[in-house]
Each structure stands twice: as C-alpha cells, then as structure tokens.
C-alpha cells in the first residue's frame, strides 16, 4: 500500500489522526507564525497537473430543477483520488487534476473562481488552492513536518479555515486566503477538526472529542476569534461532517451509532434532529446543501461502492448522480 493512505483517517470522513486528553476549551485564539509561501510552493512535489478532460454526460435521469455545480473527488481515473467538477444533475463530468498522489475535494470559492483541496506531498498533507479550471495549483500551508487538511472558505472568500497538526494534535486554524496570518482558533489538546463556516461569517462549526471519551465526537460552535466554544449535540454517538444550511438555521451532519451512520439535520434554534437518509444497510457521509437549501448532496455506499447522491432535504427522492464503478466522494455544491 502506498504511503499516502496513511493520512486518510484525518481527511477521509473526518476521522482524526491522534487521540488527545480532554481539557477545557480555549477562550481566545492564538496567533502563530505564518509559514506559507505566498508566491507558491518551494517545491512542486505533490501538486496536480491540469487535465480538464470532460466525460460523457451521466445517463442517469435526474431532475431538471437541480442547478449549480458539484465539486468532488474520485478514483475513477486510476489508483489515486483526483478532483472532478460536474453539473448537479450529474452531467458534464470534468476532471481537474492528475497527479501521483491523492487530492481530496474542498469547496469552490464564493465567487466560483477558485477551488480548495487537500493535497499530499512525499511526507505530509497540505491545504492547496487552484483556479476553478484546475490551473495554477498552490500549496498554501507548505509545512513539511505537519499534516494540514479540510479547508473551507469564509462566506466573503477572504479567509480559509482548516485542520492542522502543526502543534502535535488536530486543531482548527484560520488564515487569510493567501496563506498569511495563521491563527489557532481552538488551541486545545483534544481532537478538533473538520471546520465549516456559518453563512453570516461569525461562527464556525467543528468536530471535537473534548467533552467525551477519546474518539467519541460531537459538533461544536466557535466564534471566529476563538471564543464562545459551545457544544451543539449530545446524542450518545459520534458526529462528523457538519454543513450549515444556506439560511444558517440548520446543520446537516453525519451521525454514527453502533456501527450505523446516516445523514441527520439539527435545527439551531431548538435542537430538533431528523434522520434524513435512514438507510440501515448502508453508510452515508459528507452532506452538502444545494444553494437554495431545498436539497442535499452526500456520499453513500448503498450501491456497493461510494457514490454521490442528491435528495430533497427531508431525504425523499434520492438519486445516484455519479453512477460509476470507482469511489466518488466529498461533494461540495456551488451555485
């Protein structure tokens, strides 16, 4: 097995790389030295090359009402995972990258001009950015002795939140979109990872085991200055992959209990939860909302391998939009 798969537990499905002791949450963010190369990486190791190959339209019929683009990663091109872009009805699948290591999808920037991704070099993972057509890939974090992953844009596109192990355990960090002004938001010895920004830009949701036994995770909220850490869920299982609804009133997430995982939605004003997928014989992960909030994209293995599905936000009318023998994962829906 190639070395690159050693790092999958951090990024693939939001598992952490290490378990840590539980201590109280930090009250303020801690600024750390900027370690990025603003002009680009000093080495091109692990950076993708541009492909821009468009496959035939997916023959699976899908509702014409779905609009926008979905960025995802897939192994359909070979041994490694690469980035692909498609219409939200599954048509016009365009391959963006081709490299000798894995590339995991992050979201398109709010204006649609850039793509965030997690890349892998010879010894570590990094946060990367490229143009939406796959050109000009840049290693933003560029730390050979750290694993960085899970990048997401702020709503205005000026900042990026991500997960990093640069201080020895997983924490949630924030930096400017050019890689400068890196700040540790969670600054806690527990496992903190998988951030996502609230639509109003004032908070982030993230995953942590800080109030649970090691390896049992819940979703927390934190202000963008690192203060006001609040636990959102106490459901007896583990929660992963939070995704804010476009109106900011709900969060979709992956809940696992006794080996069974489904996509749930929790309302922020009352804490009511709903099992959206409710498929006891399969696993679901990585929910992503449609721009209008009416639907969800997610990955599921209900057909025997990882595929990307779209359903209404109540779980009705699920449709396999990738329908490929390879593993298709981590969808990010963009308007």
Annotate 208-257 with DSSP letters as a single string: E-TTSSTT--EEEEEETTS---EE----SSEEEEEEE-TTSSEEEEEEEE
**Model pLDDT for residues 75-102, shown as the tens digit of each residue:** 999 889 999 999 999 999 999 999 889 9
Band of residue 12 on the pLDDT scale cut at 50, 70, 90: very low
d(CA 98, CA 139): 16
Give pLDDT tens digits for 239-283: 999 999 999 999 999 999 988 999 999 999 988 999 999 999 899
Q: What is the pLDDT of residue 258?
A: 87
Give the pLDDT of residue 45: 54
Confidence of residue 15 (pLDDT cuts 50, 70, 90): very low
Which domains does the chain carry?
3-334 (2.120.10.30)
What was the pLDDT predicted at 67?
84
More confident residue, 44 or 123: 123
Q: How far apart are CA 298 and CA 73, in angstroms?
A: 12
pLDDT of residue 152: 98
Closest of 215, 279, 276 to residue 243, by C-alpha: 276
The four Cα atoms 63, 300, 222, 114 give a dihedral, to 10 degrees, of -60
pLDDT for the residue numbered 62: 46
Average pLDDT over residues 217-226: 96
Q: Over the chain, what is the mean pLDDT?
A: 85
Give the H/E segment covering residue 93.
none
Torsion sign (Cα): 240, 232, 184, 331: positive
pLDDT at residue 39, rounded to an integer:
29
């Amino acid at each position: 097995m190639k070395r690159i798969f050693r790092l999958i537990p951090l990024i693939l499905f939001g598992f952490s790389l290490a378990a840590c002791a539980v201590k109280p949450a930090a009250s303020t963010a801690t600024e750390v030295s900027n370690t990025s190369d603003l002009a680009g990486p000093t080495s091109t190791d692990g950076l993708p090359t541009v492909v821009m190959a468009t496959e035939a339209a997916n023959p699976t019929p899908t509702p014409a009402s779905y609009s926008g683009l979905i960025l995802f990663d897939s192994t359909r091109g070979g041994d490694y995972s690469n980035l692909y872009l498609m219409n939200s009805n599954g048509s016009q699948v365009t391959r963006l990258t081709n490299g000798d290591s894995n590339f995991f999808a992050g979201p398109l920037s709010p204006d649609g001009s850039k793509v965030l991704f997690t890349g892998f070099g010879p010894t570590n993972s990094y946060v990367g950015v490229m143009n939406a057509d796959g050109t000009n890939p840049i290693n933003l974090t560029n730390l050979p002795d750290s694993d960085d992953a899970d990048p997401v844009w702020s709503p205005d596109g000026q900042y990026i939140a991500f997960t990093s192990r640069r201080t020895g355990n997983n924490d949630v960090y924030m930096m400017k979109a050019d890689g400068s002004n890196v700040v540790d938001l969670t600054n806690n010895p527990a496992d903190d990872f998988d951030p996502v920004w609230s639509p109003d830009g004032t908070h982030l949701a993230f995953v942590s085991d800080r109030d649970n036994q090691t390896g049992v995770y819940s979703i927390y909220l934190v202000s963008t200055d690192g203060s006001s850490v609040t636990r959102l869920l106490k459901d007896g299982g583990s929660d992963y992959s939070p995704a804010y609804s476009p109106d900011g009133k709900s969060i979709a997430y992956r809940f696992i209990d006794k080996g069974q995982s489904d996509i749930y939605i929790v309302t922020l004003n009352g804490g009511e939860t709903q099992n959206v997928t409710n498929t006891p014989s399969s696993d679901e992960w990585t929910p992503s909302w449609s721009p209008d909030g009416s639907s969800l994209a997610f990955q599921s293995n209900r057909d025997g391998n990882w595929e990307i599905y779209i359903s209404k936000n109540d779980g009705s009318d699920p449709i396999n939009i990738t329908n490929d023998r390879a593993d298709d994962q981590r969808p990010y829906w963009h308007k």
